[in-house]
Amino acid sequence: MVRRNLFLISSSKVHGHEYLQHSREALTEFFRKHNVTKVLFIPYALFNYDKYTKKVGDVLTSWGFEVEGIHRKDDPVEAVRKADAIYVGGGNSFLLLKLLHERKLIEPIRERIFSGEAVYVGSSAGTNVATVSIKTTNDMPIVYPPTFDALALVPFNINPHYLDPLPGSTHHGETRQQRIEEFHHLNAIPVLGLREGTYLHVEDDKMTLLGDFNARLFMKSKTPVEVPPNSDMSFLLRE
Amino acid sequence: MVRRNLFLISSSKVHGHEYLQHSREALTEFFRKHNVTKVLFIPYALFNYDKYTKKVGDVLTSWGFEVEGIHRKDDPVEAVRKADAIYVGGGNSFLLLKLLHERKLIEPIRERIFSGEAVYVGSSAGTNVATVSIKTTNDMPIVYPPTFDALALVPFNINPHYLDPLPGSTHHGETRQQRIEEFHHLNAIPVLGLREGTYLHVEDDKMTLLGDFNARLFMKSKTPVEVPPNSDMSFLLRE
């Protein structure tokens, strides 16, 4: 058994909901179950750390949880080692991954999560970096990270904000599915397309899809499969 | 004066046109002006080199030009050094850039273009790699290139397949403009958003926007500007 408690959100903004509110019930329950009262927030995927931490902090505080930004800590590695909950916010995956590597946070986060001492919440780019690599991000490569390898808290990749082809579109850029198929020309691991409004709950070796929509699962050389909410997806955790 | 003759296409597929046909007249004139009869095609951005070379070759042959795939040459570097025209096709920019570096083609292509001995045609990813870097590509980072630095045949970046926000969209992924603004948080060079159906013609220090639509010019800390077709954009070539 691999110990880990993860809550991986496709996007913090969902059509028809205020910021983060679509996952309020499930995320609150997740924190309470693991006796979380204080959350360490990692805002590295955006540029204004104070503003970003306040935005997420205001929501989580209203739900009864305390939030601290890692950028306010003298020793970020030590902050990770003491955290009960690590929340990695969305933004640019390349920027986020670069800073996690440069600040030597990859291994400390992995250790803290795999020991079961802290839970992990990721949203969008924060969900990308929880997987094997950021090779299935939608973001623009605005900075060059030392590697595309990420936290590998799960043994597959996720495409957050997964988007179906727009009916009647006259645009000729690749569809999301075409891009993921390109990934599979060169990489073998599964890719889970997480539509906005969906999230994954991982408890050790058990994984469940939650939220309002199907996910779309891409396996190399196979036809993609639609997976409905509340499906047990633990098979993706077996390496 | 910097010598160079470039034809940089946003996309080979344009709504309402057969493959490459939207640029037929201008590209034919460009080749004829520079006495090009044979084109060296670089298909590295896709996976099936023969198929891709045939697809582009069938079109160019019907226009009166001969096409050879670089993958059929024993010595790709030597092929570049002898080419009169180098055509880099679209696909995945990360894959393309990785192979150009690995096969040590970056400097030979630059030398051949800046000496004025060969002309360069790029489409989509082939246009991305003609600029300073691939940091403004739309592609998925399916492989890790040794750097994001590209051919730098021009001193700015391009975003091909530039797309305006879709009216009424409920999707919360970043818009193209937001992504380019993220780029400008960390990078100072201009970015030209080239809509599908537009292309740039560069002749030494003179650059003209051609095609059916405006381009959108993003300069760091400035409001983006719409540039109409047939505009002289030579100011972007001054470093």
* Nearest residue in A to B93, CA atom: A141
Contact B180 A140 (CB under 8 A): yes
Closest CA to B64 of B17, B116, B27, B19: B27
Provide the b/e sequence for A128-156 (b: ≥16 CB within 10 Å): bbbbbbbbbbbbbbbbbbeebbbbbbbeb
Contact B186 A142 (CB under 8 A): yes
Q: Is the ipTM of this complex over 0.85?
A: yes
Contact A183 B142 (CB under 8 A): yes
Residues of A in contact with B11 (CB under 8 A): 172-173
* Residue whose token pair is 């050879």: B68
Element (H, E) at B206: strand B206-211
Give me the residues paired with residue B35 across strands. Answer: none
| Angle at alpha carbon of residue A155, lines to A149 and A159, rounded to 5° | 70
List pLDDT tens digits, range A100-113: 999 999 999 999 99
Query: How many whole angstroms separate alpha carbon B184 and alpha carbon B191?
Result: 9
pLDDT above 90 (res A168): no
Confidence at B16, pLDDT banded by 50, 70, 90: confident
Contact B142 A171 (CB under 8 A): no
Average pLDDT, chain B: 95
Share of chain B above pLDDT 70, in %: 100
End-to-end CA distance of chain A: 12
Query: How many whole angstroms separate alpha carbon A54 and alpha carbon A38?
Result: 14
Q: Which domain holds residue B226?
A: 5-236
Q: How far is CA B132 from the centre of its chain?
A: 11
Q: How far is A146 from chain B (nearest CA, A)?
A: 9
Task: Check B12, B123, B161, B201 and give the catalytic one.
Answer: B161
Total length of chain B: 239
The H helix count followed by the E strand count for chain B is 7, 11
Task: Name the 3-class secondary structure at B20.
Answer: coil
Contact A186 B143 (CB under 8 A): yes
* Nearest residue in B to A12, CA atom: B172
Query: Catalytic residue at B124?
Result: yes
CB B85 within 8 A of CB B36: yes
pLDDT above 90 (res A45): yes
Query: How many whole angstroms separate alpha carbon A107 and alpha carbon A104?
Result: 7
Query: How many whole angstroms separate alpha carbon A57 and alpha carbon A66?
Result: 7
pLDDT above 80 (res B132): yes
Contact B136 A138 (CB under 8 A): no
Q: What is the pLDDT of residue A25?
A: 93
* Nearest residue in A to B191, CA atom: A142
Residues of B in contact with A101 (CB under 8 A): none
Closest CA to B203 of B113, B133, B129: B113
The DSSP result for B51-116, as a single string, is HHHHHHHHHHHHTT-EEEEGGGSS-HHHHHHH-SEEEE--S-HHHHHHHHHHTT-HHHHHHHHHTT
A86 class by beta-carbon count within 10 Å (0-12 exposed, 13-18 middle, 19+ buried): buried
**Phi, psi for residue B220 in degrees, rounded to 5:** -55, 130
Residues of A in contact with B172 (CB under 8 A): 11, 13-15, 161, 196
* Nearest residue in B to A141, CA atom: B135
Confidence at B101, pLDDT banded by 50, 70, 90: very high
- As a whole number, mean pLDDT of residues B172-180 equals 89
Contact A11 B137 (CB under 8 A): no
Number of domains in chain B: 1
pLDDT above 90 (res A16): no
Residues of A in contact with B186 (CB under 8 A): 95, 142-143
Contact B161 A140 (CB under 8 A): no
Q: How far is B51 from chain A (nearest CA, A)?
A: 16
In chain A, helix, strand, coil percent, each to 5? 30, 25, 45
The one-letter code for the residue type at B42 is I
Task: Check B10, B124, B133, B201 and give the catalytic one.
Answer: B124
- As a whole number, mean pLDDT of residues A207-236 equals 97
> pTM above 0.90?
yes
Confidence at A161, pLDDT banded by 50, 70, 90: very high
* Nearest residue in A to B14, CA atom: A172
Q: What is the pLDDT of residue B12?
A: 86
CATH number at residue A33: 3.40.50.880
